[in-house]
């Protein structure tokens, strides 16, 4: 089975690595940040990688690449920019997925982990969702919950959540691709 997915990222790319390690075929990676570590992960895995600082240019070029590479699913993995309405509406519904470190609809947007700690929440988790034009507002595909421990700092909680993300995101992407075959 060939899985043609593309990944957009801005940072470390640990979710990209988990997806690659799962054996999912990543056709290309694009970033708004030419220094993103995730681009190095792509290069090491011989995946074509691109970067454009200007996000509107990035979106325009990514739309062309989606057709060129016959992409079936666009995966956001730490892409820190809001996609334009025009970009989202140019693609079929349920074409873009994202991973977010909270139990949406709680703690949308930036600093979701800090928001949960500051809120003294008892639980938080990871959400995989489809992307629409809003901020973390698309329909939810999967969630995993964890208890916030008393001694959890933002860093500790981030590590615990990322461990879940790596498994949950790659598993979910794989099931979507199998289902859509």
Tokens matching residue 156: 């500790």
Residue 100 appears among annotated catalytic residues:
yes
Q: Rounded to an integer, what distance in angstroms lies between the CA atom of residue 173 and that of residue 165?
A: 12
Per CB under 6 A, the list member of 7, 19, 58, 77 interacting with ligand GRF is 77
Axis crossing angle, helix 37-44 with helix 14-21, rounded to the nearest 10: 20
Query: What binding mask, one character per residue, do residues 96-115 give for ligand GRF by CB under 6 A, x or -?
Result: ---xxx--------------
Interface residue with ligand GRF among 3, 78, 97, 116 (CB under 6 A) is: 78
Q: Name every residue whose Cβ is closer than 8 Å to that of residue 67 and which is 6 or more positions away in sequence.
A: none
d(CA 86, CA 62): 13
- Give the x/- contact pattern for ligand GRF in 130-169, rule: CB under 6 A: --------------------------------x--x----
Question: H or E stretch including 57?
Answer: helix 55-68
Residue nearest to ligand GRF (CB): 78
The piece of 22-30, 60-68, 95-103, 141-149 that touches ligand GRF (CB under 6 A) is: 95-103
Nearer to ligand GRF, 29 or 177 (CB): 29
- Residue 25 CA to chain centroid, in angstroms? 15
Closer by beta carbon to ligand GRF, 4 or else 12: 12
- Under the binding rule (CB under 6 A), the answer on residue 124 touching ligand GRF is no
Near ligand GRF in 37-66, by CB under 6 A: 38
**3, 100, 129, 166: the active-site residue:** 100
Torsion angle of C-alpha atoms 106, 166, 61, 28, degrees rounded to 10: -170
Phi, psi values for residue 47, rounded to 5°: -100, 130
Tokens for 62, please give them: 């990514």
Catalytic residue numbers read: 100
Q: Please give the residue ranges that form the binding site for ligand GRF (CB under 6 A).
A: 9, 11-15, 38, 77-78, 99-101, 162, 165
């Amino acid at each position: 089975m060939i899985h043609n997915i593309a990944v957009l990222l801005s940072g470390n790319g640990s979710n990209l690595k988990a997806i690659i390690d799962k054996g999912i075929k990543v056709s290309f990676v694009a970033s708004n940040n030419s220094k993103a570590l995730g681009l190095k992960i792509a290069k090491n895995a011989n995946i074509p990688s691109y970067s454009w600082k200007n996000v509107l240019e990035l979106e325009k070029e990514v739309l062309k690449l989606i057709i060129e590479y016959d992409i079936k699913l666009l995966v956001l993995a730490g892409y820190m920019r809001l996609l334009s309405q025009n970009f989202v509406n140019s693609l079929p519904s349920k074409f873009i997925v994202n991973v977010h470190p909270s139990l949406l609809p709680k703690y949308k947007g930036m600093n979701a982990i800090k928001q949960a700690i500051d809120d003294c929440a008892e639980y938080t988790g990871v959400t995989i969702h489809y992307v629409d034009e809003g901020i973390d507002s698309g329909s939810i595909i999967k969630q995993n919950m964890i208890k916030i421990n008393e001694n959890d700092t933002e860093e500790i909680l981030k590590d615990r959540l990322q461990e879940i993300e790596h498994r949950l995101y790659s598993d979910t992407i794989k099931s979507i691709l199998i289902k859509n075959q």
